[in-house]
Structure 1
Amino acid sequence: MSIKPKLLIVEDEPSILRGLTDLFVFHGYDVESAADGKEGLDKGLEGEYACILLDVMLPSMNGFDICNALRAHSRTQPIMMLTAKNAEEDIINALTLGADDYVAKPFSTSELVLRVSALVRRSGWTGEDNSIVLSNEVSICLQSLTGQSYQHETKYTRREAEILAYLHRKNSPVSRDELLKNVWGYKETRDIDTRTVDIHIAKIRKKIEVDPKTPKHLLTHRGEGYQLYKL
């Protein structure tokens, strides 16, 4: 018998919470919920979820603090944040604290389901190649989301590992649009703010480069995209 993926939704608006619960139950998820930030954190720390869907504005504890606490507890727990539309500061905060992805309100329910499903599908790395070795000094384990960089242990978010894995498989520059489609899971990228890609690339460079301003592993080819190099 197959086991349904378990989803935790932390949202304080009753109508939105009911709608999201019904939506994901319909799409085959086992859904738990919390309408309070502290309750959501307690459930997130105690349970094992295929994904945690987390609103920013919550009673008793905001979504950023919850995300930070969840990420400190587990580097591998998939987290999707619900942010305010066009609130760049919220988006940057969510990604900096380790959220794997975000959706801005108001959102398309079909897009939300697709994005959550893509995150759940990618939440377990399979296959034989679970590591990336860029040089004698830099290596990344995709399974544990950790690595070694110039004699220091480095931790990665799931999204950062997905970007590195995708670039590792390619032997040519990868554009922002290609990353948004094949890593983030967007079908259309015409109206998507591509700064989220730049933010992630900058974060990765800080972890794998001696000098992020003059990278040697993760290079930008003007007009073409990003490419990962072994030394």
Structure 2
Amino acid sequence: MNLKPKLLIVEDEPAILRGLTDLFIFHGYEVHSESDGQHGLKRATENDYACVILDVMLPSMNGLDICNALRQSSPSQPILMLTAKSSEEDIINGLTLGADDYVAKPFSTTELVLRVNALVRRSGWIGIEQTLVLSPNIKINTQTLTGVLGTLETKFTRREIEILCYLHRQKHPVSRDELLKEVWGYKETRDIDTRTIDIHIAKLRKKIEPDAKSPQYLVTHRGAGYQLHAH
């Protein structure tokens, strides 16, 4: 039986694709690859992968569109985006569309492996609560990744549920560093860009708050971090 975690890399530059394939094979992964966007999406939706690595610029279908389509069909699929270092828009769009993390080109192969390993380690983790009740009108099922907010059903990503579950278990404000270590699985956070967390928090507020600009449930404590309040 092959117990190696399966990884899909969608990258259209042959030299980078070969290098990444060799890199992750060396680190113990079974690596599948595609250089075309539509082929990459097809393979991603037809197989179970421990993580999908998506370049942004791809033939036939770009990585952002793949991320969006894949997140709709598989809310729990771990996704990491490869973005241009100077492209702030791609970074924000990728995270907003549901990517769990990103690495900017040119990247350190050591950093990339650490990021993917962290995603894979956390991919099976969901908080012990099956239902999070924030108020009589806001109930979230952590197993189905769905929530009922009043009369509306809302879908959540696996990462969003992980954040909510972790915050729900804490009795104190949680810093960005703590979230990066405990939810994202990073051992060191000194050089990690915290926009990843900021964008996930903003997305969660749009889903659970009556007014995202004046949060009642997912509250920021200046200088201390985030805290989830039930009412």
1:76/1:144 contact within 8 Å kept: no
Distance 1:192 1:13, change over 3 A: same
| SS of match in other structure, 1:177 | helix
Of 91-100 and 135-144, deviating more is 135-144
Deviation at 1:2, TM superposition (A): 5.8
| SS of match in other structure, 2:140 | strand
Which residue in the other structure is 1:11 paired with? 11
Q: Deviations over 1:149-176 (max 9, x none)?
A: 1221111122212211221121101112
Deviation at 1:188, TM superposition (A): 3.6
Q: How far, CA to CA, are the matches of 1:85 and 1:101 in structure 2?
A: 14
Which residue in the other structure is 1:39 paired with? 39
Deviation at 1:101, TM superposition (A): 1.3
Deviation at 1:127, TM superposition (A): 6.7
**1:209 equivalent in alignment to 2:209:** yes
Q: Deviations over 1:81-137 (max 9, x none)?
A: 111114211011101111111111122212211211221222223574233221211
Which residue in the other structure is 2:112 paired with? 112
Aligned length: 231
Q: How far, CA to CA, are the matches of 2:103 and 2:139 in structure 1?
A: 31
2:6/2:51 contact within 8 Å kept: yes
Unaligned runs of 5+ in 2: none
Q: How far, CA to CA, are the matches of 1:88 and 1:180 in structure 2?
A: 20
- The 5 Å alignment of 1:18-167 reads 18-125=18-125, 128-167=128-167
2:205/2:218 contact within 8 Å kept: yes
Which residue in the other structure is 1:174 paired with? 174
Deviation at 1:8, TM superposition (A): 0.6
Q: How far, CA to CA, are the matches of 1:38 and 1:203 in structure 2?
A: 27
Q: Deviations over 1:32-69 (max 9, x none)?
A: 10011121111112111111111001112111111112
RMSD over aligned CA atoms reads: 1.7
Deviation at 1:4, TM superposition (A): 1.5
Unaligned runs of 5+ in 1: none
Amino acid in the other structure paired with 2:211: D
Q: How far, CA to CA, are the matches of 1:147 and 1:159 in structure 2?
A: 14
| SS of match in other structure, 2:135 | coil
Amino acid in the other structure paired with 1:196: T
1:76/1:158 contact within 8 Å kept: yes
Of 4-13 and 137-146, deviating more is 137-146
1:125/1:142 contact within 8 Å kept: no
